[in-house]
Amino acid sequence: MTPRLRLIVGNWKMHKTIPEAVGLVEHLADLLKKSPPTNVTIVIAPPFTALSAVASALTTHGLFEGTGGGTSRPGSPPVSIAAQDMHWEDAGAYTGEVSPPMLKDLGCRYVIVGHSERRRYFGETDALVRKKVLAALRHGLRPILCIGETWDQRARNQTGSVLAAQLTEALTDVDKDQGADVVIAYEPVWAIGSGQPATPTQAREAHRHIRARITARWRHETGERVPILYGGSVTPENIGELLAIREVDGALVGGACLDPPQFARILAVASSAKA
């Protein structure tokens, strides 16, 4: 089986105006040009308002991988863009929402769904997450499905059952062929933005559990192709240790991706990590 490419996703959350977003991309492009990462797939998820400007800035630097494929300069992997959320319908009376075709239009290849901040602050349920996963796949967007337990659930030894329930709910009706396009991000809620990442043992255990579930669901061949990312307080200092875990295929990075030198260092460590 060919090794899964390291996948590093930067989630900007609700940060950066358009000029700030372009400035961040310019800085990042400069760093990538100076020391191009290898063996790594790079995705960034700016807010909706900045997606178009970010795609243009990446294009200017020959770094944009849009829906039609890459335009990367030699030596440097291209950068894809993701949305941080979306509605599941193509169009309709849903004030304030953004649909899958709108994201495709902007050149998005990925979309984050079920982030714990959406579950926590906006009441997003597993049933809604499922609709979003199916809509993304229907439109050729790769869903980055976020799952993870709270500290209380971990303390009550419920981590395995919480992950299993979230996976079952979100992936019902996703068949084996579609499964190969799903990305899963294990993000313990207590580790997000806390400065306290999961220990390697905790991450390994959770990732093994997730892998076992999806290989059982979609059979070995497809289940093995699904990248499982770790997310929660990833930094340049701890990414090496996390990627050294065989079961960890990449990372979903929040805070550290807003700082181009830190994000570039994370990409550099990911490049040198053993697949």
Active site residues: 115, 187
In the complex, least distance from residue 41 CB atom to ligand PEP, rounded to whole angstroms: 17
Q: Using the rule CB under 6 A, is 254 a contact of ligand PEP?
A: yes
> Which residue(s) pair with 253 in the sheet?
10
Q: Is 110 helix (H, G, I), strand (E, B) or coil?
A: strand
Please, which contacts does 152-158 make with residues 24 or more away whose CB atoms are closer than 8 Å?
154/188, 154/190
Between 58 and 192, whose beta carbon lies closer to ligand PEP? 192
Round to whole Å and give the CA distance between 71 and 62: 6
Tokens 């570039």, located at residue: 264
Cα dist from 201 to 3, 92, 197, 208, whole Å = 22, 45, 11, 11
- Closer Cβ to ligand PEP, 47 or 232, answer by number: 232
- Residue sitting closest to ligand PEP (CB): 254
Choose the stretch contacting ligand PEP; rule: CB under 6 A; options: 133-141, 169-177, 212-220, 249-257. Answer: 249-257
* Contact criterion met (CB below 8 Å) for 130 and 170: yes
Residue with Cβ nearer ligand PEP (57 or 191): 191
Nearer Cβ to ligand PEP (61/118): 118
User: CB-wise, 143 or 254, nearer to ligand PEP?
Assistant: 254
Residue 252 in the binding site for ligand PEP (CB under 6 A): yes
Q: What Rg do the C-alpha atoms of the chain give, in angstroms?
A: 17
99, 159, 222, 233: which one contacts ligand PEP (CB under 6 A)? Answer: 233
Which region among 46-54, 147-155, 227-235, 261-269 touches ligand PEP (by CB under 6 A)? 227-235
Question: What is the contact mask toward ligand PEP in residues 159 to 198, using x (rule: CB under 6 A)?
Answer: ----------------------------x----xx-----
CA 182 to chain centre: 10
Q: Does 143 bind ligand PEP (CB under 6 A)?
A: no
Which of these ranges, 33-41, 51-59, 162-170, 229-237, lies near ligand PEP under the rule CB under 6 A?
229-237
How far apart are alpha carbons 167 and 164 in whole angstroms? 5
CB atoms within 10 A of CB 261: 12
Rounded Cα gap, residues 239 and 251, in angstroms: 8
Q: Which residues bind ligand PEP (CB under 6 A)?
A: 11, 13, 187, 192-193, 231-234, 252-256
